[in-house]
Structure 1
């Protein structure tokens, strides 16, 4: 399940205006089909980072830097965002886009497996985005959870759609069913996991392909 095109467009219209670089990135997404969170969710990423007064952000999977660019717009001049990506060409593109937006002094670019990379960083990270392999979402959360301060948030993309459809994830999460789709199973396991973690409170942002928002409460 994805949000209707009209509602998605409405949400994007109400969201902060994209600049020329973001507009170019959106054009790239439309032309190539590369999966990004889109402008409606992008506006929420910027908003959430601002609401928690984020100074440091970490991404598990950054692609060509779309979500990082939205995040960077909310960071103070002394802030930091760590982008991770296994595709070197995409990471190079991310570096170029963020430099063009004037965010190169805020960004760290790491090539490799994000779950290995997070171990090389000390916390705290006020905002974390999990958008790597769906089968490793729980692993990513556990790798970073102690580096998130009280009041910080962990976001996870593709909660309602992606390499599966909404009926399948609904069957798993709501009805307690089963599936052979490892990606859907990974997302369902993630939702089950974060809902059982006492230190975090989780809600769903039903825009784009669904974003789980888990706030550390103690």
Structure 2
């Protein structure tokens, strides 16, 4: 029992070190985002997303819109070391910065940053996804979803950012997840904005 307790303490210390390193990088990105007006999800929405990830325990995550890696790190630090995050960023410079930030965060999940247009990249991806986070071109949210739809399982979760302040631009997406019968969907307000969380039925 004593050995087991010691092993548990060591494992907890490892988890804490990983979590803390990622948190330091997240705070650095938040500071940069504030000074450079970068549209990251931020800590408030981040908390909701992290909680959703913790409850769902996905093994395979797709992110559309990496920017400089904030949400990839946020999600990745909540995942087990056998989980995978594939994140797509259209701009090469931002994708490169994201890769650097993800390396610094040293999160347990495997994160692959793909540089390219998600409209072209998603059809080339193989396998299924348990969780999808969309935070890219608002008028193309429905396109992204429909491209990945055949890679979703029953119970897969789709989180769409900016469903409050950009509701008009996302109207076709929001109508689809709320009325197509393919999803159970709800809007979660966070501050002045919100996210749409949809579950594949």
TM-score, with structure 2 as normaliser: 0.84
Higher helix content, 1 or 2: 2
The alignment yields a C-alpha RMSD, in angstroms, of 1.8
Bigger Rg, structure 1 or 2: 2
For 1:211, the equivalent position in structure 2 comes to 195
Query: Secondary structure at 1:211's aligned position in 2?
Result: strand
User: C-alpha separation between the residues in 1 aligned to 2:176 and 2:182?
Assistant: 12
For 1:189, the equivalent position in structure 2 comes to 172
For 1:79, the equivalent position in structure 2 comes to 83
User: Does structure 2 conserve the Cα–Cα contact (< 8 Å) formed by 1:152 and 1:216?
Assistant: yes
Query: Secondary structure at 2:190's aligned position in 1?
Result: coil
User: C-alpha separation between the residues in 2 aligned to 1:32 and 1:19?
Assistant: 20
In the TM superposition, residue 120 of structure 1 has moved relative to its aligned partner by 1.4
What do residues 27-83 of structure 1 show as CA deviations (whole Å, max 9, x unaligned)? Answer: 011111110111111122221112111111101111001111110011110111011
User: Does structure 2 conserve the Cα–Cα contact (< 8 Å) formed by 1:58 and 1:127?
Assistant: yes
What do residues 96-137 of structure 1 show as CA deviations (whole Å, max 9, x unaligned)? Answer: 111111138611111111121111112311110111211111
TM-score, with structure 1 as normaliser: 0.78
User: Does structure 2 conserve the Cα–Cα contact (< 8 Å) formed by 1:60 and 1:115?
Assistant: no
Structure with more relative contact order (C-alpha pairs < 8 Å, separation 6 or more) = 1
User: Does structure 2 conserve the Cα–Cα contact (< 8 Å) formed by 1:129 and 1:154?
Assistant: yes
> Measured at CA, do residues 105 and 159 of structure 1 come closer, stay the same or move farther in structure 2, by a change above 3 Å?
closer
Structure 1 regions of 5+ residues with no counterpart?
1-15, 163-168, 170-183
For 2:97, the equivalent position in structure 1 comes to 93
In the TM superposition, residue 198 of structure 1 has moved relative to its aligned partner by 1.4
1:149 aligns with 2:132: no
For 2:137, the equivalent position in structure 1 comes to 133
Query: Secondary structure at 1:39's aligned position in 2?
Result: helix
The list of structure 1 runs, each at least 4 consecutive aligned residues, that deviate by more than 6 angstroms after superposition, is none
User: Does structure 2 conserve the Cα–Cα contact (< 8 Å) formed by 1:194 and 1:214?
Assistant: yes
Q: How do 1:116-127 residues align onto structure 2 when only pairs under 5 Å count?
A: 116-127=120-131
User: Does structure 2 conserve the Cα–Cα contact (< 8 Å) formed by 1:52 and 1:151?
Assistant: no
Higher strand content, 1 or 2: 2
> Measured at CA, do residues 104 and 119 of structure 1 come closer, stay the same or move farther in structure 2, by a change above 3 Å?
farther
